[in-house]
Every structure is written in structure tokens, then in C-alpha cells.
Amino acid sequence: MSDQVRNLVFHTLSDEWATLKRVTFDYRRHDGTWETQVRQTYDRGDGAVILPYDPDRGTVLLTRQFRIPAYVTGHIEPLIEAAAGLLDADDPETAIRREAEEELGYRFSSVTPVFKVYMSPGSVTEQLSFFTARYSPADKVSAGGGHAGEGEDIEVLEVPLTDALRMVTDGVIVDAKTIMLIQHLLLTERT
């Protein structure tokens, strides 16, 4: 524990799909004074995300799926996203290979780690491991689509990388992890 935080007290508010906790703690400000703060943390586990890229055809694989948090805040269309999922008990590479096969229907010979970030550190504990992978049509092993038994209804999209960037610019792709990977791919493939 750092010397800026003391007296951590956790109170579980909900432990259903994920764990929501109220955290009370003392925080030492930059001027040296201590103050008591109360925050909430939402813990659903860490995850991984991947953006596969076919350099020969200039295409990427994306998913389209309904997301209730986006819907209830006014985004009624299904979101276009990079394939992602929770780690569960796996390491990030194993988890993203599993998710890519389940959601996209592709098995990659290799995946490339890009970075690991907090997506919403003000309240969500999740760290997301980002990956890219080169693919070709030969890597397809199934139709993908996710697990219907887990409530997944995923459409697989193969689009030109330039179209994916245009979808970001036009506000069609509004998912942060997907935008980050598209921009990363554009930067690394052009240099």
C-alpha cells in the first residue's frame, strides 16, 4: 500500500454479474493534509481485445452486437467492436485466442501484444490487454458468432481498414478499445 492511502474499508453493494463495492479510505493530498474519501469500484475481471488485420487485402475483422449499457444511454444500434472478452482463469493471450475463435471464427498462428490499459479507471477495476494478429481467409475455422447460451448474438464483419477509420470519423464506431486498436494499426502499418 502506498503512503498516500490508509484505512481502506470495503463494503460490497452488489455481487451479481460483477462486484460493486463502496470504498472508504483516507487520502493524503499533495499539500500533505489527509481527507476521507468515498468511492465505488466495479470489478468484473480483466479482459483482452484483438484486432485482426489482413495486410494482403487491407481488411480487419470486427464484431457487431447489442450492448445494453449503450442502449439505455441512447445508442440504440448494436455496437461495432473489436473482439474481446474476460480472461476468466486464463492468461491474456490464451483468453484472446479463445475469444477470437468463439466470436470471429478464426484461429491465428500468432498474436501480437500491443499494450495493457485501464479503460475507465475512475470506477472500473478492469485492465484490458490489447492484441493484433495478421490473418488470412485460411485461418477461418467456423462461422463465429459467440455462444448463444451466454446471451451472445455476434455478427462478424470484415471491412477494409480505411472503411473502419471512416466509421470512427463518422461516429459509427464509438467503442474506445476498437478506436484505439484501429489507430494503432494505422500507425504501425504505415511506418
Structural element, H or E, at residue 179:
helix 176-189
Burial of 33 (0-12, 13-18, 19+ CB in 10 A): exposed
Express each pLDDT in 14-55 by its tens digit. 998 899 999 999 999 999 999 999 999 999 999 999 999 999
Q: How far apart are CA 59 and CA 74, in angstroms?
A: 30
**Mean pLDDT lowest for which of 1-5, 27-31, 116-120?**
1-5
**131 closest CA partner among 48, 50, 46, 63:** 50
Is it the case that residue 117 has pLDDT exceeding 80? yes
Stated pTM of the model: 0.91
Is it the case that residue 1 has pLDDT exceeding 80? no
Q: How far apart are CA 112 and CA 141, in angstroms?
A: 20
pLDDT for 190 equals 60
